[in-house]
Amino acid sequence: MAKDKDKTVSTLGSQKSQVAFDEEKIISLWKEIKAFERSVSKHAPKGNYVFYDGPPFATGLPHYGHILGSAVKDTVARYQTMRGFRVERKWGWDCHGLPIENIVEKDLKVSGKKEIEALGVDVFNEYAKSKVLDYVSHWKDTVERIGRWIDFDGSYKTMDNSYIESVWWALNEINKKGLVYEGTRVLPYCPRCETPIANSEIAMDNSYKDITDISVYVKLELEDAPNTFLLAWTTTPWTLPGNTAAAVNEEIEYVELRIKDKELGEESIIIAKERVGVVKEGYEIVRGFKGKELVGKKYRPIFDYFARDEKLANRENGWKVYSAPYVTTESGTGIVHLAPAYGAEDMELAEKYDIPFVRHVGSDGKFTKEVTDFAGERAKPKEDHQSGDVLVIKDLAHRGLLFAKEKIVHSYPHCHRCETPLYYFALPAWFIDIQSVKKKMLKLGEDINWIPEHLKHGRFGKSMEAAPDWNISRNRFWASPLPIWKCEKCGKTRWVASVEDLKSQFINNGNTFIFVRHGESEHNVLNIATSDPKAPYRLTGKGKDEILKVIREIKDKDIDVIYSSPFLRTKETSTLIAEKLLISENIIEDKRLGDFDFGDFDGKPFAEFLEYEANNMDTYDTPIRGGESYLDAKKRFGDFLYEINKNHKDKTILVVTHGIGLEVAPALVEGADMRRSKEIIDTIEVSTGSIYKFDFTPIPHNKNFELDLHRPYIDEITLSCECGGVAKRIPEVLDCWFESGSMPFAQKHYPFENKEWFKENFPAQFIAEYIAQTRTWFYYLHTVSSILFGKAPFENVVTTGTVLDEDGEKMSKSKGNFPDPAILFDKYGVDALRFYMLSSPLMKSEDLNFSEKGVDEVYKKNILRMKNVISFYEIYKGDHKEAKSEHVLDRWIIARLNETIKEVTDAMEAYKLDQAHGPISRFVDDLSTWYLRRSRDRMKEDSETQSEALSTMHFVLKHFALVSAPFSPFLSEEIYQKFKEDNDPESVHLAEWPETKKTTSTEESLIVSMALLRSVASLALEARAKAGVKVRQPLRELRIKNKELDKKVELLEILRDEVNVKNIVIDEIIDTEIVLDIEINEELKMEGDLREIMRAVQEARKAKGLMPKDLARAKIYANEELQRVARGFVAEIKKSCNLSDVEITDLESPSDEFLVVLE
């Protein structure tokens, strides 16, 4: 750790610095004054500024990549807030897809679709839902600690019904445009997850891995020329059992080679002329010919599993040579084997020529039963990706069809979630027609400002140009279900755009329910809580009158049947109604309609229950002591409602129950979650004799009777078809990238809510993520937005690089090749880490080899320097706030401040965050190492120049807090809190951005001149060091070649003091830039000795912990020469070092130079 004066405390092996303590105090301050909430609610003269925050998965802990992204977004949000915008910031969670499914499979010890279905999709998905937010508290702690302001508690989730409903709407709109179709395509496929994988996901980090595979040269014997073989080459031997054709290029030159083999005898091989080298030796060329001579020739199947199937479609076109222009001689043999189900080009050729299409490897990655020699074996398993190839190769070798084999190392795609090797697999799926909208997408992409710019027409533009149609379906479980139903009778598809749309198409029994609470009972008068069905509480006279009123209201409703709670008061109510309506034989008792189970409070005063409820039952699922929860009651009423509705059709059903029944029924009809259900029960008033009438339509719901659009609940919903048939939902779920691409509107439940808001605030002004999202989230956002709204979804995009370890390797928890972020927070504070990353090449989309030394450097050069500046200022600050200074140093630092504000503002307006950090670092350097050092003595003196210096410092520090606020939110707040006045906002992040002033020509000249002065000073100090002369030793003269400083008296005086010379001469004749006279006479030496003595006294004061204003007595032990100097300048020593007395005496050891002791 840096050796500074910070207080440190041990925390789990790390050291918590004072900087970290200070930052945590700032977090507490922000919470106390509700700074974030006020930043959003305060007046925003420029209106809303919208940015999109990519939702992370909550299935792991946040890492440096997340911290980087959060720092970028927080910096821009703070800046735009200070510029006068309202920047709403809501967190989001990506909940669906393979990441969580893989975790669930491990936890539940199941693998693959069959085992999941055997376990139960409901069990699997409910567990997935419970696991989604496992790490939320860790994320919240980290996000808060890194200083990011965002609404974390009000986060949206892609698994929310409202989000899914918006996604359904979007899909329907795209379908209405004729852009959705069902088809069979060869797609990247994961056999372990048993689902296609998006091309964009394969292009993401770590999807391609270098692996060693076996390539083979296999012999295809021509039917019309026995013992003559086509030599085909493939790097995927496992696909050979699915071979149904071969391809050549008509224009390529081929040759027939005669080969003699001791074991096999003589045979002929056909190969492209340019690839003869692969045969190596032992051959002679028989003849040469063009590839078109081979087209149409038939060959004997290398595996006949499918060839002998007489019912195979297009069998007559199989095992024949076809022409394909994509065949080249760059590798292989110029002859390509075709397995149409496992290659996109193979399938295109098969569709063109009606070549047989066979699947010899199933969706589970295993050879099918038709492949009798290898049935059930995995073709390319994760554990041993060569095993399937080896099985095939051994069989070919045994039958003499293997010409050669060799190992190859190549980059191969793997599942980005489970790391299983992928292969290309033809399967039916649903697609969005990208080709029809690609031109529009490319045009709209021109409206986006990219940082860095090269991505616009580079990675992003090229991704759009090469984009295939979008496969939006997945054969999985935990995701938004595709809202498509297909009729079992006529095959017609029906699309659902919303929950209400679903209800309108649902095959409903058409029942109407009327819930009635019993009339007033004796227990109501006694105010007793009772849940005993046998309790002898009858209706009162008033209660009977209430029910007669109910009868008058429902007499024309044509009641078909009455269901009643078995309690005496409800039975009396039911009987009275039945008698008056002449339907007494249709009363059915059902214990599920009973009163609330009050548990330990049964038979006790109702007020005691209410008191217990208020103090203990704060959630809907909290049970009363010894009894049930409101959720328990809702579930039994839900069981009743769905069962009875199923058993009746087009009936009016009267339900006589208790208050609890009418309290939970609205939640059942609505499908309310627990929060909403409790809201209903807390606000609803249900008096005796109350009525609740509703037409009931079942909805997809979970075990808590909450609306749940996930599988398997949505699969239970069947729709009516115009043909009279029943439509069932197709089993596929939606590609999670479509959910992500819908984020701008789905997070707002558009268009079902917030229509005006979305209309006014779309597109977003800003978005930021790391480079891999260029081909994924950014692309999918753009695709969905272009199709739905005809606009690019965002105006400005900042794309960052990837954070790697110090050696350029991927950061890995198992390797432990990176420092724990929490330890760095404690060691250096968050500001240093944020500043380090945001000023790095990461902001140019370049990778960063993360180095703790880099964080330490920022910590020392920026954070500690500013803290030291503040500490010094506070010692002398007094009350100097208004004095205006004409001192050249004061004018210069103000000019530099204005220049910095202008540079930072320009960079931030251009979204070039790294260029905004540079000016701040340079200003900190100028302020601490030049302005303060050169003004230190002025600030100590009790004079007019002290007031000017301190006033200038006050102004500079307060404005520095403003301009640095987005970049160093903690340090800037700490500074601001020291300088804010009563009428200032409570936080620097609630203040306005400092005014950007144009630098005047005078200021520009001063800045240039001061830079020249410092350059000259640097040369002079280098000359001193080279000569071995300390800076405290005055010298006679410095000669300068550059005449720019001539007659600039104030600047020359600063230079003279800086390099400690008596005289400065401008001399254009000298050969070098400067000439320093290093000859020291007696007078100069004495002055140098005096400075050494005073330095030693000041060091002694510092070591003793004295403040500048503290008087002290000094005892100076020195040799005879230094005693003479000290005695000659006692007055100067006392004044300069704030001493009341100075005693000068002999050294105890003659070898020492001198020693200072303070008393």
Alpha helices in 671-776 (DSSP H): 674-683, 736-741, 743-746, 755-761
Residue type, 1135: K
The answer on whether 316 is annotated among ligand-binding residues is no
pLDDT at residue 1128, rounded to an integer = 83
Q: How many CB atoms lie within 10 A of CB 315?
A: 15
From its phi and psi, is residue 527 left (phi > 0), alpha (psi between -120 and 50) or beta?
left
- How large is the angle between the packed helices 888-909 and 944-964, nearest 10 degrees? 10
544: CB partners within 8 A, 6+ apart: 519, 576
| Residue 928, CB-side half-sphere exposure with 13 Å CA sphere | 19
Alpha-carbon distance of 476 to 996, in angstroms, equals 55
Adjacent-strand bridge partners of 493: 486
pLDDT at residue 258, rounded to an integer = 94
The answer on whether 1056 is annotated among ligand-binding residues is no
- Exposure class string for 502-524: b at 16+ Cβ within 10 A, else e: beebbebbebbbbbbbbbbbbbb
1037: CB partners within 8 A, 6+ apart: 1061, 1062, 1063, 1064, 1065, 1076, 1077
- Exposure class string for 1033-1061: b at 16+ Cβ within 10 A, else e: bbbebbbbeeeebeebeebbebbbebbbb
Could you give the 3-state DSSP secondary structure of residue 393? helix
The answer on whether 519 is annotated among ligand-binding residues is yes
The answer on whether 634 is annotated among ligand-binding residues is no
CATH of 208-413, one of 3.90.740.10, 2.60.120.620, 3.40.50.300, 3.40.920.10: 3.90.740.10
Alpha-carbon distance of 74 to 70, in angstroms, equals 6
pLDDT at residue 261, rounded to an integer = 72
Could you report the per-residue pLDDT of 1039-1068, keeping only the tens digit for each? 998 888 888 889 999 999 999 899 999 988
CB 323 within 8 A of CB 250: yes
pLDDT at residue 5, rounded to an integer = 37
pLDDT at residue 1118, rounded to an integer = 81
Fold of 509-696: Rossmann fold (3.40.50)
pTM of the model: 0.89
The answer on whether 522 is annotated among ligand-binding residues is yes
The answer on whether 521 is annotated among ligand-binding residues is yes
CB 749 within 8 A of CB 166: yes
The answer on whether 416 is annotated among ligand-binding residues is no
The answer on whether 972 is annotated among ligand-binding residues is no
Q: What are the Cα distances from residue 778, in Å, to 173, 197, 742, 797, 799?
A: 21, 18, 11, 9, 10
Could you give the 3-state DSSP secondary structure of residue 704? coil
The values of phi and psi at residue 1065, to 5°, are: -125, 130
pLDDT at residue 1106, rounded to an integer = 84
Structure tokens at 43: 């007046």
- Exposure class string for 690-710: b at 16+ Cβ within 10 A, else e: bebeeebbbbbbbebbbbbbb
The answer on whether 201 is annotated among ligand-binding residues is no
The answer on whether 215 is annotated among ligand-binding residues is no
Q: What are the Cα distances from residue 744, in Å, to 443, 482, 772, 778?
A: 20, 20, 20, 12
Point out the residues of the chain with pLDDT beneath 70: 1-14, 204-206, 262-264, 813-814, 880-883, 942-943, 1149-1154, 1159
The mean of the pLDDT values for the chain is 92
Look at residues 649, 643, 659 and name the one whose alpha carbon lies nearest to residue 517: 659
